[in-house]
Structure 1
Amino acid sequence: MRKMTLSNGKTVEVECLSCALTSGLIEPDGGVVIETEHFQAHQDVAYPIKGLIILASKRHIKCFDELNEEEKLDYINILSKIRKAQREVLGIEHVYYFYNEDTTHHFHTWMVPRYEWMVEFGRSVESVRPVLLHARNEMNDEENVEKVMEAIGLLTNYLNG
């Protein structure tokens, strides 16, 4: 078991944070954006960027090539739906996608929107970490978090309506 502090300040003890989130043991701030048989999407509000989505597998796997055929189809379909919602609901024109296999959690894909304010950090994948840190350290004020929560609600309504 690992002890972790969540973005809302609560401390939890879990073996795998992604398993705890996708099973419903822990409710992500802002709630679940959309859920399928194999995946769950939510925003990690520790990084308060409107439209940033984490798409996590419900099954505890680490690598993309461990997805079975049904999960692969579900993954690309839900990823596409979320991307369409980001564009149509929030006006997001560009997104960086990434996942890593050496994570302490299980398989999940980050969908990080690109906004004009991010240009000062660069325009490559190398800029993503500084952008995330900037958001976490400099944008965690009440006004911005409220906008992020509103965006979560808009995406949730669009995707589940």
Structure 2
Amino acid sequence: MTDPTCWFCSDDVRTDPPPGGWVYDDAHWRVGHAPASYAVAGTTILESRRHVADERGMSDAERATLADVTARTVEAVTRATGCDRVYRWATMDAYAHFHLWLVPWWETSPLRGPRRLVDAVVTGGGTTPERATETAARIRDALSASV
């Protein structure tokens, strides 16, 4: 099921592909770098291919594979960025379509917890398109090596 008005479902609504293209794509999930202006390099968004708001609407196969895809992506982001931890954030507020933000965090980051998420995504100033594309390539390589 798709929603033609949903940013995640429709390439007509989503006018810009993820920087560096999709780093992971299968029957249920795809992962791309967040828009460069949104967050630090390495911030990725794992999204369901179907238009579902959360785990309640997922198929058994989607629920069964979500943890594995998340863990593999977290490992790839960690390898690609050298971060100490990867924060996860999911609200489905702007679009009722499951998408999980994966945000790198370092011990040297000045903020922790929810403040870090807000700083990284809302007020963080982002990264450059070039750096996002380079980081996406490293994440893709790390994901490919984990198969």
Scaled to the shorter chain, the TM-score interval is 0.7 to 0.9
Q: Once the 2 structures are TM-superposed, how far is the Cα of residue 107 of structure 1 from its aligned partner? A: 0.6
Q: Which has the larger radius of gyration?
A: 1
1:159 and 2:143 are equivalent in the alignment: yes
1:80-91 aligned within 5 A: 80-91=71-82
Partner of residue 104, structure 2: 113
Question: Which whole-Å deviations, capped at 9, do the CAs of 1:104-147 have from their partners, x for residues lacking one?
Answer: 2411000011135631xx212133112323333xx55xxx4322
- Which structure 2 segments of 5+ residues have no match? none
Instruction: Quote the Cα distance in structure 1 between the aligned partners of 2:74 and 2:101.
Output: 12
Equivalence for 1:130: 119
Q: Which of 52, 77, 100 is matched with 1:61 structurally?
A: 52
Percent of matched pairs sharing the same residue? 22
Q: Deviations over 1:70-111 (max 9, x none)?
A: 101221111111111122232121111011143324110000
Figure out how many residues of one structure are paired with residues of the other and give that number. 139
Query: Which runs of 5 or more structure 1 residues have no equivalent in the other structure?
Result: 1-13
More helix by share: 1
Q: Residues 58-77 of structure 1: CA distance to partner in whole angstroms, max 9, x if unpaired?
A: 10011222212110122111
- Other structure's SS at 1:30 match: coil
Change (3 A) 1:54 1:30: same
Alpha-carbon distance in 2 for matches of 1:26, 1:88: 26
Q: Is the 8 A contact 1:48 1:145 kept in 2?
A: no
Superposed CA RMSD? 2.3
